[in-house]
Structure 1
Amino acid sequence: MPKVKPKLKASLIKLQQEKQYRGKINSLPSHPYSKSKIKHKSTFVKPLPPPLYKPEDKILLVGEGNFSFANSLATNILYTSHFIIATCLDSEEILNKKYDDAKQHIQSFIEFGGKVIYEVDATQLEKCKLLKGKRFDKIIFNFPHAGLGIKDQDRNILSNQKLLKAFFNSAIPFLSSKSLYSDMNDGEIHVTMKTVEPYNQWNVKQLAKSTGHLAIKESIDFIPNQYPGYEHRRTLGYQQGKSKNDNDEIFSKKPKTIIIARKESLELEKQQREAAENTRVPFIVD
């Protein structure tokens, strides 16, 4: 049997992904952040937006908790995890003590082809030998938190700002780039945050810009229902009786995914759009 070409294989996987995704959206709940709570007679359910990720994307996940996001991404969105590396700060032993469901998520993720690396500090990615020389199309940090348990709000905000700024600086060399490395794509950093106080005071967008190399592409709603099986977990772990179940903790706090990219790549995109608009032939009606 002839070998399937890589491009054809990627196209077939993408087609399968889109087909299965269309079948899922009608069975999922309506948008969880809908302003109107009035029940209408209409049975129309607003479809969820398409996923941000493609099967061929090279993805790095940092700061994973119970690995339910990594597993959902592999098993329900991309139907593969061959190009995904999922990392966490904890050792394997500590992780399993903090999250009793982590082991099953990791096992499933690995079965789909994913790679897991423990004890990776998101603020010092360059120190991880297994990441050396790699670049990624998407670097994802969901609900970052220093987890220091600081009671004073101002000090707590500062500790998380320090975490994020160090992460941004560390992540930049791992972003793919068309102009710098002749990669196929320009890489993006995706940071998902709650958009209520005190998280708004972290000034994530400004922290990214302060690196001098990054700029904000856009911000979009993060919809947990889009990732079946994903269950948000706190940095300190799940505590029976104290932690809310599943995604209750984030539903009411309207999380958004901030999409960040190299400043020069966004500037080049803008120039190309403007050039394309200027070269359009006007349609004249006599």
Structure 2
Amino acid sequence: MAKRDKGTLRAALAKHRARSQQRVDEKRKATVGQASKAASTVPSKKRTTMPFARDDSILLVGEGNFSFTLALLSPPHNHPPHQILATSYDTEADVYDKYPDARAIISQIRAKAGLHADRILAFDVDAGALHKCEAVTGSRKDDPRRWSKVWFGFPHVGAGHKDERRNVLANQLLLLRFLVSIAPYLTQGRAPMYVTGKTRRSSDDDDDEEDEEESPASAGDATDDLAEHTVWRPLSPPARQGSVLITIRNVPPYTLWNIPMLGKKLRSVFGPIAASAPPPPKGTFMPSLAQIDRAGTEYVVWRSFEFDPRMWKGYSHRRTVGFVDGLSTSNNEDLLRRPTPPSASKPQGRHVGTGECRTFELALR
């Protein structure tokens, strides 16, 4: 009887230990699970792509109020003013009429440009007829100026076509004319390291946030910044292959423009799109197929990445038609999917965002 009691006691003790160990294991698993869940809910730091290197020669086309130009010149970017040319389709007077903040912005640009103030801005420049602008091409036909980065931010003809198909065709024609026009003025040489130093993905327009420029634009020391402001310097393009950057909203109808396809199949689609699109304004330059062939206008897509306007302090997006009360916003709310500040008429503000904005980077094949 005593032996049986002793055995029963040992068995009960073993069961107690097993249950205790089980409770410890379950508690540990629960703790680990909660930690993993918490970690998964913490947003990972998003890597952004800086498309400009400090030595890039940068041409900006289709500028609105020139706030992107000012952001590029200002901290933290501080791009050298002698390496920038910013252009607008409008005359200078029209810019001031369409964008109330443009006059103050342009004054700041010219002040920052110093001795380069007279050549950093150009007006009345058609992005589809860049050969007509000496500020873009230079004065020597046998040795034109070259640009390593050309940015066309939020292109739009601004014609207000109600039919979506006509609207898409009109904007596709604008982009095709631009791609043909800029081809002779892109720098030549080896592609940058973020193109040659990685394995190409299966889709040309995949994300590439992890690719970074070899020498990103950054604030130089005080001596360099002073020299760039007070000492005249010539445009000095880098010896590497240039590219075109086109930024659009990544939602319909803009995605219907199909920028990668326009670059890759430019020659074959130019004729049909030009024939079907609404007629552009009278006097608009239209390249011939022979001119397209001479320019060797066939592009590949190097990468695409999200455009975050918060990277560009002071940048304020503007529509082609100008600042429109009730539609335009002051702090890029229409790009960032956030409400506008409350007002007397709209105490809660209004939600105007339209999703991600995306930059496609193309280069000649």
Matches within 5 A, 1:269-284: none
How far residue 111 of structure 1 moved from its aligned partner, in angstroms, is 2.3
Letter in 2 for 1:62: V
Amino acid at match of 2:104: Q
Matching residue of 1:254: 356
* Counterpart position of 1:227: 312
Larger radius of gyration: 2
TM-superposed CA distance for 1:52, in Å, is 1.7
Distance 1:172 1:144 in 2: 18
**2:86 aligned partner:** 86
* TM-aligned CA deviation for residue 170 of structure 1: 0.4
Secondary structure of 1:103 counterpart: helix
SS state of the match for residue 90, structure 1?
coil
For 1:123, give the aligned amino acid.
G
- Displacement of 1:41: 9.8
Q: 2:132 aligns with which of 127, 133, 136?
A: 127
- Name the % identity: 34
Name stretches of at least 5 consecutive residues in structure 1 with no aligned partner. Answer: 1-37, 264-286
Paired with 1:122 and 1:227, the residues of 2 have a C-alpha distance of 23
Q: What secondary structure sits across from 2:94 in the alignment?
A: helix
Cα distance in 2 for residues equivalent to 1:143 and 1:50: 18
CA distance change for structure 1 residues 183 and 55 in 2, over 3 Å: closer, same or farther?
closer
Counterpart secondary structure, 1:112: helix
Residues 139-158 of structure 1 show CA distances to partners (whole Å, capped at 9, x for unaligned) of 00000001111111111111
Q: Supply the AA of the counterpart residue of 1:134.
A: R
Task: In structure 1, give the amino acid aligned to 2:123.
Answer: Y
Displacement of 1:112 in angstroms is: 2.5
Higher relative contact order (CA 8 A, sep 6+): 2
Write out per-residue CA displacement over residues 65-117 of structure 1, whole angstroms, 9 at most, x where no aligned residue: 01010100111243132210000000010100100111222222222226000
Alignment partner of 1:189 is 2:194: no
Q: What TM-score, normalized by structure 2, do the two folds share?
A: 0.57
- Secondary structure of 1:82's partner? helix
C-alpha contact (below 8 Å) 1:69/1:231 kept by paired residues:
yes
| 8 Å Cα contact 1:48-1:226 kept in structure 2 | no
Q: Runs of 5+ in structure 2 lacking a partner?
A: 1-37, 138-143, 191-236, 267-296, 337-353
Taking the aligned partners of 1:231 and 1:121, their CA distance within structure 2 comes to 22
Per-residue CA deviation, residues 247-281 of structure 1 (Å, 9 max, x unaligned), is 11122320111011111xxxxxxxxxxxxxxxxxx
Corresponding residue of 2:207: none
Mapping for residues 69-218 of structure 1, pairs under 5 Å: 69-79=68-78, 80-113=80-113, 115-132=120-137, 133-178=144-189, 184-211=239-266, 212-218=297-303
Structure 1 residue 244: deviation in Å?
3.0
Cα separation, 2, equivalents of 1:48 and 1:248: 21
| In structure 1, C-alpha distance between the alignment counterparts of 2:301 and 2:145, rounded to whole Å | 23
- The number of residues matched between the two structures is 222
Q: Note the C-alpha offset of 1:120.
A: 0.3
- Could you state the TM-score of these two structures normalised by the residue count of structure 1? 0.73
Aligned to 2:184, the other structure's residue is in SS state helix
What SS class does the counterpart of residue 135 from structure 2 fall into?
helix
* 8 A Cα contact 1:145 1:160, kept in partner: yes
Alpha carbons of structure 1 residues 76 and 48: separation in structure 2 relative to 1, 3 Å: farther
Aligned to 2:6: none
C-alpha change, 1:41 and 1:112, in structure 2 (3 Å) is: same
Alpha-carbon contact 1:54-1:78 (below 8 Å) kept: no
Label 1:213 to 1:91 Cα distance change in 2 as closer, same or farther (>3 A). Answer: same
Root-mean-square deviation (Å): 2.2
Corresponding letter in the other structure for 2:184: P
1:47–1:183 distance in 2 versus 1, CA, 3 Å: closer
Q: Counterparts of 1:241 and 1:210 in 2: how far apart (Å)?
A: 39
